Amino acid sequence: MKKIAVVILSLLLSAGIVWAKGFEVQKKAGDLSVVVKMDNSPAVMGDNGVVVTVKDAAGKEVMDAGVKVEYSMPAMPGMPAMNYGAVLALNKDVYQGKLNFSMSGPWNVVVKIVRGGKTVSTKFTVDVQ
Ligand SMILES: [Cu+2]
């Protein structure tokens, strides 16, 4: 019986650690690698802090880019299509900002990176609770 309790407790603890880690997704945008982190996992209605790390093909942080996050939800019954954008600000070697989700459900998120006159992007879905 004791062993089972320990196993259950450790399962609960590890689940808690995963929960606290927050949302994270790794993507490629052109020859750049992009890591998007959000401080809520799952994302919630209202403000969610977002941090984007951009690295070049050599693995070096890119700090001379313009980074914008566009997030949208297609129209659904009783709700017109919603489109928002957030321009992220460079803070040391990452780009930071806030995404404000006005309703729960799946949102399409596009990260656009402008560098040297060239735009690359990557997209993913966030399920807002
Ligand atoms: Cu909706």
Confidence category of residue 51, pLDDT binned at 50, 70, 90 = very high
Tell me the sheet residues that pair with 3. none
Q: 7 CB contacts (<8 Å, ≥6 apart)?
A: none
Confidence category of residue 17, pLDDT binned at 50, 70, 90 = very low
Q: Quote the CA–CA distance of 35 and 61 in Å, as a whole number.
A: 11
Confidence category of residue 46, pLDDT binned at 50, 70, 90 = very high
Distances from the Cα of 48 to the Cα of 3, 23, 28, angstroms: 39, 10, 22
Res. 96: pLDDT tops 50: yes
Q: Per-residue pLDDT averaged across 102-110, rounded?
A: 96
Query: Ligand 1 center to residue 19 CA distance, Å?
Result: 25
Res. 12: pLDDT tops 80: no
Query: Ligand 1 center to residue 16 CA distance, Å?
Result: 29
Query: Ligand 1 center to residue 66 CA distance, Å?
Result: 28
Query: Ligand 1 center to residue 2 CA distance, Å?
Result: 47
Higher pLDDT, 17 or 34: 34
CB 120 within 8 A of CB 29: yes
Query: Ligand 1 center to residue 76 CA distance, Å?
Result: 6
Higher pLDDT, 59 or 22: 59
The domain ranges of the chain are: 22-128
Confidence category of residue 19, pLDDT binned at 50, 70, 90 = very low
At the second CATH level, the architecture of 22-128 is Sandwich (2.60)
What is residue 119's predicted lDDT score, i.e. its pLDDT? Answer: 97
Ion ligand 1 residues within 5 Å by Cβ: 73, 76, 79, 103
